[in-house]
Structures are given as C-alpha cells and as structure tokens.
Amino acid sequence: MAAKETKQRGRPRSFDRETALEKAVRSFWEQGYEATSISDLTRTMGISAPSLYAAFGDKQALFREVVAEYGRLHGGFLDRAMTEEPTARQGVERALREAAAEYTLPGRPRGCLVISAAQNTAPASADVADELRAMRLANIDGIESRIRADVASGTLPVDTDAPALAHYVGAVIQGMSQQARDGADRTTLEAIAELAMKVWPDSP
C-alpha cells in the first residue's frame, strides 16, 4: 500500500487577491504611478513584499493589472456610451455627463486613473506613460470613428472636422478629470459638459 503523501504543494496564500488588487487600484489612483512605492503598496494592500511579487509580479506588472481592473469597474463609461447611443453626439453627451458623476463620486479618488496616474514619470517608467497615452488616444480614435460614421450617414455635415472634434472631446474629458482632482464638484463639471456640447455641429 502506498504511503499517504503529507507534504503540501506550496504555501497557501494568506490574503484575498481581489481585495488586495482593489486596494492597489486606490493607491495608484490617489498617488499616481511614480509616487506609489512598493512600501506604500504593501502597507495599503496589507501584504508583504514577497507576497506582492509572488501574486502580482513587479510594480509595473501590478500597475497593468490595476489599469485593467480600473477599466472594468470604473472607466468603461465612455466605451459604453459610444457603443450604446445611436449617434456620436448622444454618445459624447452621455459620456461627458457620466464623467461628471464618475470623477466626483464620494468615497473614492477623484478624476480618472488613466488620465492622471502616469503624469511626471521618470525615464525608467516611460513605457508605463506610453501605454496610458495609447489608451487615451484609442478612446479619441473611437470617438472619431463614430463621428465619421455620422458624417457618412448624413447625421453630421460633410465638412465636419472629425479628428479635431474627437480631440476636442478628449481634451474636455481630460480637463474634467483634472478639474475634479483640483476640487471641482459634480455641478461644476456638468456645466462644463453642457457648454462643451454647444460647439457640436448642427445636423444638416
């Protein structure tokens, strides 16, 4: 009869990974990528440095997972608005309105992590800044595609400058994020959103 195997295959994890990840999201969201140290993360997440590295990899790998989690939980409103609304105008109007609410929601950091987390990064972290920049530009490209589709369908005038209008929307969203971090409340951001829509081209 074979002897019963009693050795454990590795030590069981002593923390909840999802809870730790949520705490990492908040830390990077509040402080940004560069200012958040491993010691900050271990303290906030309630785990040791070896546990962090074992579960998430290095700081950069953890941050990539944080960005994905942020997008899943908090940052998907732009994509949803542009996908679900029938026109670019309605999608942008909804996205700006929801940005005003999301960026000022009580009980969590203000603004958008993707917009603010990689400002003033060191040269060694340039690839982190590049990845977030690519995400922001992809959002603008998505808006531009919807605008071009509306031009093609006759919903917008043929002389609509789709790239400029899309970048304008991106600038407004990014500005709203920074205004929220500077203390602007939801009402103020909603007023900005309403003013921003006044430049939208009239239907032909």
Looking at the predicted structure, is the pLDDT value of residue 130 above 50?
A: yes
Dig out the tokens for 152 from the structure: 């093609």
Which pLDDT score, from 0 to 100, does residue 16 have?
Answer: 87
Identify the residue whose tokens are 């009402």.
187
pLDDT of residue 54: 93
The pTM of the full predicted model, rounded to 2 decimals, is 0.87
Q: Give the residue ranges of DSSP H helices in the chain.
A: 17-31, 38-45, 49-56, 59-73, 77-84, 88-102, 113-116, 126-153, 162-181, 186-197
Which one has a higher pLDDT value, 49 or 204?
49
pLDDT in tens, 57-103: 999 999 999 999 999 999 899 999 999 999 999 999 999 999 999 99
| Residue 20: pLDDT over 60 | yes
* pLDDT, position 13: 56
Three-class secondary structure assignment of 46-65: CCCHHHHHHHHCCHHHHHHH
Banded pLDDT at 4 (limits 50, 70, 90): very low
CB atoms within 10 A of CB 181: 17
pLDDT digit string, tens, across residues 163-203: 999 999 999 999 999 999 999 999 999 999 999 999 999 88
Residue 18 phi, psi (nearest 5): -65, -40
Size (the chain), residues: 204
> How confident is the model over 2-31, as a mean pLDDT?
72
